[in-house]
Amino acid sequence: MTSAEQLVRREFTQWVGHDPQGVWFAPGRVNLIGEHTDYNDGFVMPFALALGATLAAGRREDEQVRMLSLDLNESVELGALRPYDQPMATTGWSAYLAGVVWALRQAGHPVGGIEMVLSSDVPIGAGLSSSAAIECAVVAACCDLFELDIAPMERAKLARVAENYFVGAPTGLLDQAASTLCEADAMLFLDCRSLEAESVPLPLAEQGLEILVLDTRTPHSHVDGEYAERRATCEAAAKALGIGTLREVTDPDEALSRLDDELQVKRARHILTENQRVLDAVELGRDGRLRELGRLLDESHASMRDDFEITVPTVDLAVETARQSGALGARMTGGGFGGCIIALCEQGKGDGIAKQVATAFAEAGFHEPSWFSVVPSAGAHRL
Ligand code: GLA
């Protein structure tokens, strides 16, 4: 039993007065490549982390939703969260849990009252999907507790409904799909239009490689306007081209030449080139040529910095320093405006590279970063 499982079990029993009916875990994620492509019906390729949300839960006889966060030492109780309720019955951390119960009920699933005790070790606001980890753990718990027969992709979609309409962040499916569907030692290649998913092996250690995740500790928030603004500009570009989404573009150069608005050109160019980079990464992954992914990471970062304009000075300095210190490639990961970078490195080199970044940060007067080496892990499951 992990220590997080022990903790949520013990605290649940103390809080509720009897043992939980089970404990569920769902991971945070790193997106290897394919940024802001998901809501443009494009391609993404994340993998799940060993860090995640651990949730003890049990059914109640009534309709109440009771939630306790051990990390914040706060509890929230909602009496009526019926399908006819308006969203936003609660905000903050509890919205990620309550939102899933709401989304399941809204979709007609017979989800009754529930008690949930949460502990998560995914850093918040770091671009590692701390919110999706919570949502997907709650979906997994509800499916087991209320005997719901919901396929994995549908679970991810319901978790996204909670994020979009209850929490109010206009995100795509990337995070919830990763937290639900990823497999150990693999990346998840997802076509966000067809929703076809493929596990692509990521045997890092076998190939003498590691991936470093470095948190710049510049927090971000997707409820903020920048994310929604990028999304709106992509949609406007698609409309100007007379298509539903940028995914429908078949000839990128021709499409870009037809756009008059310079901002739309830049935003669309990022999406179109990023989709191609994901496809290139999938080929490298399928061929087991992981080392060569480095070049694609570098190109993706340049595109996010220059065309999509979602990087910030801390992130750019971290990527630049990682590269100069020997990384095979590096890029920001996640929604942007702060958060984490990933760097593909020779095995055993990650720590040294991170220390060089820390030195560069100190010289620039930035916060001290934190870092860890990833273990590509399995998606949501019962413990
Ligand atoms: C956030 C969103 C995702 C995705 C990424 C950018 O993580 O939640 O849906 O859009 O940003 O790739």
State yes or no: pLDDT of 82 exceeds 80: no
Residues touching ligand 1 (Cβ under 6 Å) are 31, 35-36, 38-39, 171-172, 174-175, 222, 334-335
Residue type, 195: L
DSSP symbols for 200-242: EE--TGGGTEEEEEEE------TTSHHHHHHHHHHHHHHHHTT
Q: Which of these is catalytic: 19, 85, 144, 175?
A: 175
CA–CA distance, 365 with 362 (Å, rounded to integer): 5
* 302 touches 319 (CB < 8 A): no
User: What domains does the chain contain, in order, with CATH numbers?
Assistant: 3-202 (3.30.230.10), 205-374 (3.30.70.890)
The per-residue pLDDT for 278 is 98
Q: Ligand 1 centre and the CA of 204: distance in Å?
A: 24
Least confident of 17-31, 36-50, 169-183, 215-229: 215-229
CA–CA distance, 44 with 46 (Å, rounded to integer): 6
Q: Report, as an integer, the average pLDDT of 18-40.
A: 98
* Ligand 1 atom at minimal distance to the Cα of residue 169: 8
Q: List b or e across 246-255, with b for residues whose CB sees 16 or more CB atoms inside 10 angstroms.
A: bbebeebeeb
Q: What is the pLDDT of residues 96-149, one digit of tens each?
A: 999 999 999 999 999 999 999 999 999 988 889 999 999 999 999 999 999 999
pLDDT cut 70: percent of the chain above it: 96
Number of helices (H) and strands (E) in the chain: give both, helices first: 11, 12
The per-residue pLDDT for 214 is 98
Q: Ligand 1 centre and the CA of 104: distance in Å?
A: 22
Q: Ligand 1 centre and the CA of 266: distance in Å?
A: 19
- Residue among 36, 274, 308 whose CB has most ligand 1 atoms within 8 A, to mutate: 36
What end-to-end distance do the CA atoms of the chain give, in Å?
8
Nearest to 29 by CA among 162, 131, 145, 170: 131
The per-residue pLDDT for 169 is 86
Is residue 175 flagged as an active site residue? yes
* 210 touches 345 (CB < 8 A): yes
pTM of the model: 0.95
The per-residue pLDDT for 223 is 47
